[in-house]
Structure 1
């Protein structure tokens, strides 16, 4: 098992890559379908190659239907004084995402029926979508909305809705086992730093670290898709395979704020994903909270639906719905911390390390402890470091009755999982343990 130590060079490389990706991805008009999604995936694929596939518009996926593809060309308003305002090329949040095409002259009273703002956050532009009902609209700060002069406004919404497809991309890093550790992230929000870009950037940096490993126990699968409809369509296509092969999974979102970690459990709450995440977090020098599953969150709603009930948790820094800038123009690059994001990559990698090391064993000498010297496992010199090794071996031999895994032994003994894993491997090589996983 090849689990390399993190270095400052690795983290510096991640910081530099993350900063470049934020700058490159920020201006792109993204939605649940369209060229913006494909461009986003192409940029991410330069870090770790991805395979993409298309799901045609009109495809029925459980109770849903993949919508028509949306293409953005231009959108703006000309006010009565001839000034161009609400220019979606300057700020993609100005246009209601998935707006139907429209061009015409409308009075302010009519325009107001197509405007969206936030009275409780008057300086921010809200994020508004209309995927499943055709309408057009613009978003703006409440302060600006109140100052619009009376008169006629020219409205241009140059968009196209057509029978196309929805893009999904994957990275699969094969391991010794077909059992998978699964990561899902979404690429459908425009101009959102924490609620959008932090997830795919964290995922691609983690994938790059894992791709560099020579000896992976598990297969690692990363999927980049549209939130909700993308996850539903992906489950429609691959749900049976995921149910058969998934060992642990995580929805990667909202990882970029300089706040303590929040781990959200899976629907069952005690899966391999939950146990590994909480064990890994307890070993980090960082504050964290653990909260129960919520059926009104992100794509865990789909992965943990009763028909699938996959072992999917989520590790975040600044969870959705909670931070005040959520789904507004204030969720921008100034709000985000690259260091916090790289710290979340570190935490996810620590979870992967925990999953890789954790195994169940059964002792092959259950009647009294074995004579370790006979098996060349007892040190000839009594030293503190050697005593730690012996303590680890004795705990493993005593607790390995096919029911306890190494995490359970670590919790009970207080011995680090890494040391237990090393000693279990030696005991297995010495013919005293049988690995059951």
Structure 2
């Protein structure tokens, strides 16, 4: 059996997504200096808190948390490199990526060789672009400063000396903040969706995914009688998970059943997913089913092989919550200034929303079909017939689907057993239910859904 759909999905034109709202959120906040603990990041947090009626958990900058230290607060007043004649070479005010994350203050003259060799990052293979130098944001004891500069500018820096004007604070006078928006459902079992608030000057790596997640929140909020509960957790990369897991009530942590981490969803690359740590939860099976059915060029990777983010905490020691990643293949603009508004792909935004809504919908809409008939069904009598000469796979699948109904298997269970599309299985049994041929039983969450985690 093939995991591909037995019928072609037309790309839906009436998606419940407000693309203007997505672009406004991105445009308003992507150029802010969104380091882990920063008043600029706080502005985004305040917006999300208001839009989602969310809680905000806080952790003091510099405090110990699990085996980590919460990053220091970083405030930039000025970050400028100038020639001796006063001509500006690069300026933080033009793009926050020009200044290395957590650069400390330095004011004075410096010789060209020391500047270029110790305090400048550049890429001669991409001479018009410059990189995001983030590493010191994760190194609590490092005190450095530096500039990220396009190579086309660096190769023209012929003067013997330059002027550095960096005025910053790196202190504990702020808190790391994590947004927590909750939608209650019939069951306490909770599916949580995450993306990170940090990475200044970048779109796909964090902020664009938050904008898509907000649309998923609004879509779920508009549904009646949610089966699962949902939690949306937004915070700085790694530290958002750390902050939430050490601040949230234990009951909320215990109720987490599965996680979906979002990254790089706004690019041109093929959509895909990576498995949870053990790869055997119902979330793992479901994302494989939905994405391979809906996206012919889908990228599939094992745990942490697409990228690594907060899922490492949730999957990790002491928690063991199966958390997958949904994103796209690595893109050329990753951690460069060209991950910007100009390179946002609106089709990818819509496609990402569609894939996520179909994945989450499979949890919400799954049920256990119970046959009210015996023997092979006379398909043509009930308008359920598929011509085997035109669709032999679909015809065969319908026969096998009925044989796998046993009063305990759900539509997703049957789809995964046969490696066929969940929505094909569900569509057939929905029609059979309309004809009075089956009953529907609720598919309740089970402990075994989490696999071996």
Normalised by the shorter chain, which TM-score bucket?
0.7 to 0.9
The CA distance in 2 between the partners of 1:359 and 1:257, in whole Å, is 35
Which stretch of the first structure deviates more once superposed, 143-152 or 126-135? Answer: 143-152
The CA distance in 2 between the partners of 1:69 and 1:343, in whole Å, is 36
Query: What's the CA shift for 1:392?
Result: 7.6
The CA distance in 1 between the partners of 2:436 and 2:351, in whole Å, is 34
Counterpart in the other structure of 1:410: 415
- Cα 1:152–1:69, aligned 2, differ >3 Å: closer, same or farther? same
The CA distance in 1 between the partners of 2:231 and 2:271, in whole Å, is 23
Counterpart in the other structure of 2:156: 147
The CA distance in 1 between the partners of 2:340 and 2:190, in whole Å, is 34
Q: Which has the higher contact order (CA 8 A, sep 6+)?
A: 2
Task: Deviation per CA, 1:243-301: give whole Å up to 9, x if none.
Answer: 53223211111101122212111111121211121221233254212111127622222
Determine which of 267, 286, 306 is the counterpart of 2:277. 267
Counterpart in the other structure of 1:311: 322
Scaled by the length of structure 2, what TM-score is found?
0.81
Task: Deviation per CA, 1:175-224: give whole Å up to 9, x if none.
Answer: 11111111111011011122232221121121111111122111111111
Counterpart in the other structure of 1:162: 171
- SS at 1:86's partner residue? strand
Query: What's the CA shift for 1:34?
Result: 1.1
Scaled by the length of structure 1, what TM-score is found?
0.84
Counterpart in the other structure of 2:62: 58
Counterpart in the other structure of 1:117: 122
The CA distance in 1 between the partners of 2:440 and 2:198, in whole Å, is 52
The CA distance in 2 between the partners of 1:428 and 1:178, in whole Å, is 32
- Root-mean-square deviation over aligned CA pairs: 3.3
The CA distance in 2 between the partners of 1:194 and 1:240, in whole Å, is 32
Are positions 1:137 and 2:139 aligned together?
Answer: no
Are positions 1:104 and 2:115 aligned together?
Answer: no
The 5 A counterparts of 1:375-390 are 382-385=381-384
Query: What's the CA shift for 1:120?
Result: 3.0
Determine which of 83, 87, 99 is the counterpart of 2:87. 83
Which stretch of the first structure deviates more once superposed, 31-40 or 96-105? Answer: 96-105
Counterpart in the other structure of 2:212: 202
May I ask how many residue pairs the two structures share in their alignment?
Answer: 415
- SS at 1:194's partner residue? coil
Tell whether the 8 Å contact from 1:263 to 1:315 is kept in structure 2 after alignment. Answer: yes
Query: What's the CA shift for 1:49?
Result: 3.1
Task: Deviation per CA, 1:360-402: give whole Å up to 9, x if none.
Answer: 57x6xxxxx7568xxxxx99x93314999xx989956853354
Which stretch of the first structure deviates more once superposed, 63-72 or 239-248? Answer: 239-248
The CA distance in 2 between the partners of 1:242 and 1:270, in whole Å, is 23
